């Protein structure tokens, strides 16, 4: 029974979506382009909110944002933005919706330059996840500061250092599972 496993303190045991996210995604190295793009936008949507709020809306986000198809999102017009802002299944924040569109455009420019988001991100860590920081889990690091700045230069929005560090955790660039968590030492 998976509920008897020792997990990170933040994994809400009352929410099956949260437990599945913790057990199967968080801290697991991700190289899937669409998921990398999705998670970057969802981490930005989280700003000022809890991750659990966004996770609970993730299925609605996937429908609302065309399964995170960057080409479709980059072409969203005012009518589509109005539709998104009226959708109770997502965070209806005009700046965050606009950021997803801007991020799709920046992502497509990155791809047009001949690189993938996967290759671009993982180059910062030599293709290997970083181990946990000694002591408490930080909200940001010098590396997240650098990636945040570089994403901003590429035109991405809602990519502050704290958001980027949470993103790095979520896509497995860093393994920040609690020392007693059963996921801490999984490959």
Burial call 110-137: b when 16+ CB within 10 Å, e when fewer:
bbeeeeebbebbbeebeeebbebeeeee
pTM for this one? 0.94
Tell me, what's the pLDDT at 136? 73
Work out the number of other CB atoms within 10 angstroms of the CB of residue 102: 17
Q: What is the mean pLDDT of the chain?
A: 94
133 has catalytic annotation = no
Q: What is the pLDDT of residues 97-134, one digit of tens each?
A: 999 999 999 999 999 999 999 999 999 999 999 987 77
Rounded-to-integer distance, Cα 157 and Cα 142, Å: 19
At 19 the three-state DSSP class reads helix
The answer, yes or no, to whether residue 187 has pLDDT greater than 80, is no
SS3 of the chain: helix, strand, coil, percent, to 5: 55, 0, 40
Please pick, among 18, 21, 122, 165, the residue that the annotation labels catalytic: 21
Mutual orientation of helices 51-64 and 33-46 as an angle, nearest 10°? 130
Please pick, among 26, 51, 61, 165, the residue that the annotation labels catalytic: 51
Please pick, among 43, 61, 76, 122, the residue that the annotation labels catalytic: 43
CA 47 to chain CA centroid, nearest Å: 11
61 has catalytic annotation = no
CA distances from 46 to 55, 82, 122 (A): 9, 20, 23
Tell me, what's the pLDDT at 2? 46
The answer, yes or no, to whether residue 94 has pLDDT greater than 90, is yes
167 has catalytic annotation = no
**Local structure of residue 131 (DSSP, 8 states):** P
């Amino acid at each position: 029974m998976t509920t008897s496993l020792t997990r990170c303190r933040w994994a809400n045991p009352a929410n099956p979506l949260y437990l599945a996210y913790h057990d199967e995604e968080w801290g697991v190295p991700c190289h899937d382009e669409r998921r990398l793009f999705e998670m970057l936008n969802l981490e930005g949507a989280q700003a000022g909110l809890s991750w659990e709020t966004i996770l609970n809306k993730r299925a609605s986000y996937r429908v609302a944002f065309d399964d995170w198809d960057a080409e479709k999102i980059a072409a969203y017009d005012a009518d589509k933005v109005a539709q998104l802002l009226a959708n109770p299944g997502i965070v209806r924040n005009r700046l965050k919706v606009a950021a997803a569109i801007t991020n799709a455009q920046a992502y497509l420019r990155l791809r047009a330059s001949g690189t993938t988001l996967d290759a671009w991100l993982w180059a910062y860590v030599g293709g290997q996840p970083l181990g946990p920081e000694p002591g408490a889990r930080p909200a940001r690091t010098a590396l997240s500061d650098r990636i945040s700045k570089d994403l901003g230069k590429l035109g991405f929005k809602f990519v502050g250092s704290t958001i980027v560090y949470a993103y790095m955790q979520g896509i497995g660039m860093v393994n920040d599972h609690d020392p007693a968590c059963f996921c801490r030492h999984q490959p």
